[in-house]
Amino acid sequence: MSYELLIQHGTKIMYPPVVEGVTIEWERQGQPGKLTFEVVKTDGLSFQEGDPCRFSVDGTPMFYGFVFEKSRKGSNPNVIKCTVYDQLYYLKNKDTYVYSNKTAAEVIRMIAEDFQLNVGGLEDTGYKIASRVEDNQTLFDIIQNALDETLKATKQMYVLYDAVGKLTLKNIGSMKLGLLIDEDTAGDYDYKSSIASQTYDKIKLAYENKDTGVREIYIAQDGSSINQWGVLQYYEKLDNATNAKAMADALLSLYNTKTRTLKLQDVLGDVRVRAGTLLVVMLGLGDINVSNFLMVEQVKHSFKDGQHLMELKMRGGTFVT
């Protein structure tokens, strides 16, 4: 395995020697991709914050972003530690948006145009959001709210990520990899099942009908789950009552289950794995034997001494397909 680190300063392209390893971290939502490395300060090496950086593995670009942080230690000033973020970092900006009759993909494209972000393939999410007011919110939150609205209405989950310099939106159904994680390819694991987070067996939606002055209530519940777990209620006020009963049923179907998390260490690396990817996991976890696709919630790629390993946080339960 070979990897290449490129930094561009103005018109000058540099290939600095890497001291130790290189790490890439991706999360499914709310965080930009992060590349970290240390380089040796050699003659002619000069770069600044904001300079573009690209990391390639075996000749294939894997990460593209911009230098955001540089640091040194007095005991070894010739080594520069660098932190590079992809363009999702700019979704940390705050703004106010009022929009209507847009899909989540159209919201992303609107924001990308306003903030001069490069766009790649955005899958059509189909569902038109009637209207939303986003006041003083991060762009991350504005986009995630649109994706959450789409998930509630359609039970379809989409993942936004930066694909080597281009904003990309995909349905998780199109992010499957035929990659097997089992006892032979994973080192250790931490497993947890829970009904304490994002598990609901009763859905209650309320709509204030201004025309009639009546509060309309829409309820979906599962009696057997309530008998076992008690009442775990999800409550939300709606801006309109269009398809409210169907939304309540969809939310119950989505959340009326245990959530399961699985952290895997020292997994043999694969450059195709990113947050949102679905992998085949075959492991005995005590109370269950997993033999299914699970979704990568977070991934950390580590490249060192010609070896590529991954740390993976997987999601099960709701997100098993």
Note the pTM of the prediction, 2 decimals: 0.82
Q: Scanning the structure block, which residue is given the tokens 């699985």?
A: 262
pLDDT score recorded for residue 200: 96
CATH code for 175-195+258-319? Answer: 2.40.30.150
Task: Return the structure tokens found at 245.
Answer: 């009963």
Residue 320 has pLDDT above 80, yes or no: no
Residue 318 has pLDDT above 50, yes or no: no
C-alpha 51/C-alpha 163 separation (Å) is: 18
HSE-CB for 123 with a 13 A CA cutoff: 17
- The CATH architecture of the domain made up of 90-172 is 3-Layer(bab) Sandwich (3.55)
Q: Could you tell me which residues come within 8 angstroms of residue 95 by beta carbon, excluding any fewer than 6 positions away?
A: 114, 134, 136, 137, 139, 142
pLDDT by residue (tens digit) across 102-158? 999 999 999 999 999 999 999 999 999 988 999 999 999 999 999 999 998 888 999
Orientation of helix 139-154 relative to helix 244-255, angle to 10°: 100
C-alpha 140/C-alpha 29 separation (Å) is: 8
User: If 0-12 CB within 10 Å is exposed, 13-18 middle and 19+ buried, where does residue 240 land?
Assistant: exposed
Q: Could you tell me which residues come within 8 angstroms of residue 116 by beta carbon, excluding any fewer than 6 positions away?
A: none
pLDDT by residue (tens digit) across 203-220? 999 998 888 888 999 999
**Any idea which fold 3-85 has?**
Phage tail proteins - horseshoe like beta roll fold (2.30.300)
Q: Band of the pLDDT at 316, cuts 50, 70, 90?
A: low
Residue 77 has pLDDT above 90, yes or no: no
pLDDT score recorded for residue 317: 54
Q: Report, as an integer, the average pLDDT of 229-244.
A: 90
Q: Report, as an integer, the average pLDDT of 246-253.
A: 90
pLDDT score recorded for residue 241: 82
Q: Report, as an integer, the average pLDDT of 223-252.
A: 92
DSSP characters over 120-133: EEE----PPEEEEE
Q: Which of 102-106, 240-244, 309-313 has the lowest mean pLDDT?
A: 240-244
pLDDT > 90: percent of the chain: 63
Mean pLDDT (the chain, rounded): 90
pLDDT by residue (tens digit) across 1-59? 788 999 999 999 989 888 778 999 999 999 999 999 998 888 888 889 999 999 999 99
pLDDT score recorded for residue 321: 29
Per-domain boundaries in the chain: 3-85, 90-172, 175-195+258-319, 202-255
